Chain A
Amino acid sequence: MGFVAGVLPALAVGVFGGAVAAYGLVRTIGPSRLLSTEAAPLALLAAGCVLLTAAGVTGVAAVVRRPRFRRWNLVPLVAAYPVWLATHSRIVVPLLVAAGLAPILARLGRRALASTPERKGSAGNLLARRRLAGQARPWAVLAVSVALPTALVAYGDAALAAGPVRYAFSYLAGLGLLTAVIVVVMLLWYVESRVTERRRTFTLLRRMGLRRRTHLRATGVELGVPLFAGLIGGLSLAAGLARLLVDAPLRVGTVATLAGLVAAIAAGVAGYAHTRVAR
């Protein structure tokens, strides 16, 4: 929980700064059906939601980082059943189940990444797995920061196609694009912050026999897994929301476009990271 407490002030500043900027932009450039008339309370509501989401994400990430299972991890899971009996809510109950399963799955996942016995010639896989496990926190944050806009765009698109427009889809698409840019910048920053250390490691590993293509593959896996996990999570969330709220499937073209975008980001950043380290 220390980690959550540590990052919350920064998140709060960012979220409320963004909300104020969005309010100003909408007031000056607007109008939009979503924010024009009640921009201030909606911006604050959005900020609160993002803050809560961020706290949840960082909490899950902290569990992934140090997966100590505690009894209270089971509380949401146990509570799901009585809540279902009482409310039959198809939104709250799945969220409770997800919240209960997250630390358990995170622990299992981390264990699988960290304890797979290495085999001869598997240095690249070992490196990729261990780097994924060792950097679980930023990768969890990255996956969620891919999942949320993916879900927004895919769901918004499905809702738009399904019937009366209730949300300004262009805003959702713009938000998704902006987030993609932010994700790329975050990834490049992450890569750059580790270039010196990784170049030194790469030089020594090359002397031990590491091949360039093995390093490229390991880098691709390390960066690609969280991105694709985010994509799949986001699409699943969007599919569930679209089915529940507007009873419509996701549009294949949009899904393919999002998958292509994520694949292009993963390949581009992995190639860049490899080139920076192995030049």
Chain B
Amino acid sequence: MSSPLLTVERLTRRFRRRSKFVYALDGLSLELYPGQFAVAAGPRGSGKTTLLSILAGLEPFDGGRITTHPPLPKDVPLGRMRWRDVAYVPQVLTLLDELTTRENVEMPALLDPDGAAGWPAEQVMNRLDVGHLADAHPNDATRAEQQRIAVARALRMRPRLLLADEPTSQQDPDSAALVLDVLHEHARAGNAVLISSDSSVTADRVLQLLDGRLVV
């Protein structure tokens, strides 16, 4: 395999509960490669969401090191990465209710200096079967459709690394297969994809987490 896109070494995230520390992540190490579709699996509370939030730059960590490699920019904190480099589908979807779904998907392009790049909003929405909702508002869509809109927003700039927290949790089996197909395609195009999932998902690599540690 080629050189990694991202290296995580002994990553630790802990929270204080009364007088004790509880470890959400406890010395976790992993590497993600271009073209790889990886799944962080494990029961609730195993650290999947914390791992993805930290990699997305939305949450700090207490110990360890995260290193990015080209084509990701080097020496740029994860929180400062551009959407075209690292995109994220959070579990709380954070769609803007004031905007139409197309505008939600288009938002990363509006905020990018080179907004013309990437995957046109209409195409990615059609691919995820939410094209008919382009002029509707997120509140008018079902929870499953909202989740696919959030996936479309993450894919809009064709990010080098796509992180998705339970992106199929609201989908029926057919729609889940569609979302996973699209994410697999994105990985096959030379990008890295890391999702979290409770259920079994076919992947190039499964990171089995338990109590903040990698067990497989």
Contacts and interface: CB of A to CB of B under 8 A. Distances in A.
Interface of A: 118, 120-123, 126-127, 130-131, 133-135, 200-201, 203-210
B99 A126 contact: yes
B58 A208 contact: no
B103 A210 contact: no
B108 interface: yes
Contacts of B56: 207
B79 A123 contact: no
A209 B156 CA distance: 14
Contacts of B96: 127, 130, 201
Contacts of A131: 98
A201 B79 contact: no
21 contacts: A118-B106, A118-B110, A121-B115, A122-B110, A123-B110, A123-B111, A126-B99, A127-B98, A130-B98, A131-B98, A201-B96, A203-B58, A204-B58, A204-B88, A204-B94, A205-B107, A205-B111, A207-B83, A208-B107, A208-B112, A209-B82
Contacts of A206: 79
Given A201-B94, A204-B88, A204-B90, A209 B111 contact: yes
A120 B110 contact: yes
Contacts of B57: 207
Q: Is the interface of A mostly helix, strand, loop or mixed?
A: helix
Given A121-B115, A123-B110, A201-B94, 15 more contacts: A118-B103, A118-B110, A120-B109, A120-B116, A126-B99, A126-B103, A130-B96, A130-B98, A130-B103, A131-B98, A201-B96, A204-B58, A207-B79, A208-B108, A208-B112
A277 B108 CA distance: 20
Interface string B65-97: 000000000000001011100101010101011
Contact of B115 (A120, A200, A204, A207): A120
Contacts of A118: 103, 106, 110
A82 to B, nearest CB: 42
Interface of B: 56-58, 79, 81-83, 86, 88, 90, 92, 94, 96-99, 103, 106-113, 115-116
Given A127-B98, A133-B98, A200-B94, A209 B103 contact: no
A244 B152 CA distance: 59
A209 B83 contact: yes
A130 B101 CA distance: 13
A8 B201 CA distance: 54
Contacts of A210: 111
A135 B107 CA distance: 20
B16 to A, nearest CB: 21
A120 B118 CA distance: 14
Contacts of A126: 99, 103, 110
Which of B56, B58, B107, B113 neighbours the largest number of chain A CB atoms within 10 Å of its CB? B107
Contacts of A133: 98
B99 A207 contact: no
Contact of A134 (B58, B82, B94, B97): B97
A131 B94 CA distance: 15
Contacts of B79: 206-207
Given A207-B79, A207-B81, A200 B110 contact: no
Contacts of B110: 118, 120-123, 126
B98 A134 contact: yes
Contacts of B98: 127, 130-131, 133-135
A130 B99 contact: yes
Contacts of A121: 110, 113, 115
Contacts of B107: 123, 205, 208
A131 B81 CA distance: 27
B112 A209 contact: yes
